[in-house]
Structures are given as C-alpha cells and as structure tokens.
Amino acid sequence: MMAEPKTEQTRQFLAPEAADDALVRLAKISGQVQGVSRMIRDDRYCVDVLNQIASVQKALDGVSRTVMRNYLEQCVTDAVKSDDPLIYDELMKVLFRHR
C-alpha cells in the first residue's frame, strides 16, 4: 500500500534508516490520532483526551528528533563545510520556530 521509499542511492536528504524510523513512528502516530477521535466519540473524560493528545505531541517530537538529527548530520554539515552563511539563518528559524 505504501509507496516504495527511494533507494539509498537516490535519496538526497533523509538517510534510509532515518526515513524508515520516521515512517514507522508516523504510522503509529496515525493510529494514535484515530485513537483520540475514538475517545472523543466515546465521550471519555476530558483529561484522558488531553493526556492522549499530549502523547501524540510527544510522539511527533520523536519524529522531529529523527529528522533533525539527520538534518544536522547531512544538510547542516554539508552547508557548514562549504561555508554557506545562509545555513545559520535557516537553522535559527527552525530552532526558535515556536518562540
């Protein structure tokens, strides 16, 4: 059902292992999101729903972490080594997005 991930040779950004890790996590997150909907339809206690949403947020942080590490090890590393001055603006924007 899933589209074939690009092969190692053709992938430019996210390394295959990181991509696999992220996809497994996202599949689990899809299930968790459906679980939240189910809790709401079943009229579960609000605090339980809020806790479950917090779990999904934490799981998404896990995906961010995987992608971020790969981003640092690949893209940021390449940019730094080739003295691309724009990488710092990009990185700062990513890091301080929410503040």
Q: What residues line the site for a copy of itself (CB under 8 A)?
A: 2-6, 10-14, 19, 22-23, 26-27, 29-30, 33-34, 36-38, 40-47, 49-51, 53-54, 56-58, 60-61, 63-65, 67-77, 80-81, 88, 90-92, 94-99
Q: How far is CA 44 from CA 20, 26, 48, 57, in A?
A: 33, 24, 7, 19
- CA 65, CA 85: separation in Å to the nearest integer? 24
User: How near is the Cβ of 4 to a copy of itself at its closest, in Å?
Assistant: 8
Question: Cα(11)–Cα(77) distance, rounded to whole angstroms?
Answer: 17
The number of residues in the chain equals 99
Q: How far is the CB of 54 from a copy of itself (least distance, A)?
A: 6
Tell me how far, at minimum, the Cβ of 94 lies from a copy of itself, in Å: 6
